[in-house]
Structure 1
Amino acid sequence: MSLDVTADVRALYEALSAGEYEKAAERIPDTMLFLNVATGDVGRGRGAFLEYMRGWAAAFPDLQWTSIDVAGAGDRAIAEYEMTGCHTGPLLTPQGHVPPTGMDVQLRFCDVLEFGEEGMSQLRSYFDSNTLLRQLGLVSGSPLHAPDRRAPLELYAQTVDGTARERHKSIVRRFVLDVLNRQNPQAAVDTCSNDFRWHGGSLGQANDLKAYQRVLVTLFTAFPDLEVQVLDTVAEDDRVALRFAMSGTHLGEFQGVPPTFKRISGSGMSTFRIDESRIVEEWWQGDVLVMLQQMDVGPAKLRLSR
């Protein structure tokens, strides 16, 4: 690694230490893959990085990042830093929101950064989630645990939510992460009801969860590396609207088109209906024609759902 790149990485974490998230994000290419190893969350580019950092800032309004060390060799760098703050805002997790506990947190992080021709190509962020839970008083039996003031661990980030809107958005985010980005149709049982109905626009319809899981199997066979990036979420009453970008490599049959081995990307929107903490219905809209055009074919007979 050149000294210039090492200096660039150091400047990134110095900007974080100063609370200048926008300035730090200027050093993140839109193509960079961001992975939160502790939670399994995956994102890409400046937007994902800013969403991650602003999530911490919302949960810990007095947040302080302290850069400890940066070291680099070849096309990789490692950054060690520390977070301190008081938990007075909702903390977003893959399972939902943890309401404020009023607890002080001091947590060490380690990031591994990889570089390519366009700069940073991947950032993997590591921290000990159990240490975070213990310091928040959410681990039974820990010295900080106070059952009269803290949520028990089995309720962590689920029914202890402060608002239905945030809880509903968290359920949808968990669905995107566990089902779509991990290409795991079986995981849908954790977030969807058995009578879940899927309205796929030009792709057809699935009238129960098992039928929808078959749709997913077909989709993941066509795009084994499918990645869905959440761009916006809006919740009101029992509905969550989600705007997304998606990409994947066409390695299996899709809409009657044999594998082209092309990288396909697109965007769309989904509206989810939530009932009793389960997704019971989804209306999906994506530009399938654009995807087909990227495969160098015209409109094909749509037959994804059965």
Structure 2
Amino acid sequence: MRPREIAEAWFDMCREGDERRFAELATDDFLCHGPGGTGDRATFIDWLHWYPTAFADQRPTLEDVIADGDRVVARYVVRSTYRGGYLDLPARGQHVEETGIIIYRLAGGRVAETWFEGNDLEVAQQLGGRVQMQLDDRFG
């Protein structure tokens, strides 16, 4: 598959929570990296089952796909409807827009590793979450 096809297939898999498609797309020693740390196939499959139930009606858009060697980078926007289960924030059918970047490392035409950076703070704020920060005297 071409780089854009890999990214599109990955987003389709995530949107559908398709574990069989994940088995086709990812290597047996797959690793995922993100704000919560590093996980393996089992960690990702747990997330894959949760994500489309918490954020339904997903409409992903790939804004940019860039490839170099064994790496593919995708900058994306996913618009969805929140159904609950994220940071204990109540679901009221809110429309959410998530942006982020995923870097894929390929091996043998399959995804061996991902690095994910998303706008979790903005998603939480769209759902009515509040973030409190304390700054010490050095910052005003």
TM-score range, shorter chain: 0.7 to 0.9
Pair member with larger Rg:
1
In 2, Cα distance between equivalents of 1:170 and 1:253: 30
In 2, Cα distance between equivalents of 1:272 and 1:246: 18
Cα offset, 1:277, TM superposition? 0.9
Match of 1:208 in 2: 40
CA contact (8 A) 1:246 1:265 kept: yes
Paired residue for 2:33, among 163, 186, 199? 199
Paired residue for 1:181, among 3, 7, 15? 15
Cα offset, 1:169, TM superposition? 3.7
- Which residue type is aligned with residue 288 of structure 1? D
* Structure 1: gaps of 5 or more residues: 1-95, 97-166, 301-306
- TM-score, length basis structure 1: 0.41
Paired residue for 1:288, among 117, 120, 134? 120
For these two proteins, the number of residue pairs brought into alignment is: 132
**Which is strand-richer, 1 or 2?**
2
2:100 aligned counterpart, secondary structure: strand
In 1, Cα distance between equivalents of 2:87 and 2:58: 16
- TM-score, length basis structure 2: 0.84
CA contact (8 A) 1:180 1:227 kept: no
Match of 2:52 in 1: 220
CA contact (8 A) 1:219 1:254 kept: no
Q: Are residue 262 (structure 1) and residue 94 (structure 2) matched?
A: yes
In 1, Cα distance between equivalents of 2:15 and 2:52: 10
- Which residue type is aligned with residue 267 of structure 1? T
Superposition RMSD on alpha carbons, in Å? 1.8
Deviations 1:34-93 (A, max 9, x none): xxxxxxxxxxxxxxxxxxxxxxxxxxxxxxxxxxxxxxxxxxxxxxxxxxxxxxxxxxxx
Identity within the alignment, %: 23
- Which residue type is aligned with residue 182 of structure 1? E
CA contact (8 A) 1:175 1:191 kept: yes
1:188 aligned counterpart, secondary structure: helix
Higher relative contact order (CA 8 A, sep 6+): 2
In 2, Cα distance between equivalents of 1:208 and 1:196: 6
Deviations 1:107-156 (A, max 9, x none): xxxxxxxxxxxxxxxxxxxxxxxxxxxxxxxxxxxxxxxxxxxxxxxxxx
- Which residue type is aligned with residue 91 of structure 2? P
Match of 1:297 in 2: 129
Deviations 1:160-213 (A, max 9, x none): xxxxxxx34432322222x02333233211101122111122xx1352212101
* Structure 2: gaps of 5 or more residues: 133-140
In 1, Cα distance between equivalents of 2:106 and 2:70: 5
In 1, Cα distance between equivalents of 2:59 and 2:87: 19
Match of 1:14 in 2: none
CA contact (8 A) 1:243 1:269 kept: yes
Deviations 1:224-275 (A, max 9, x none): 2222211110000100010100111111211222323211112111110001
Segments ≥4 residues shifted beyond 3 Å: none
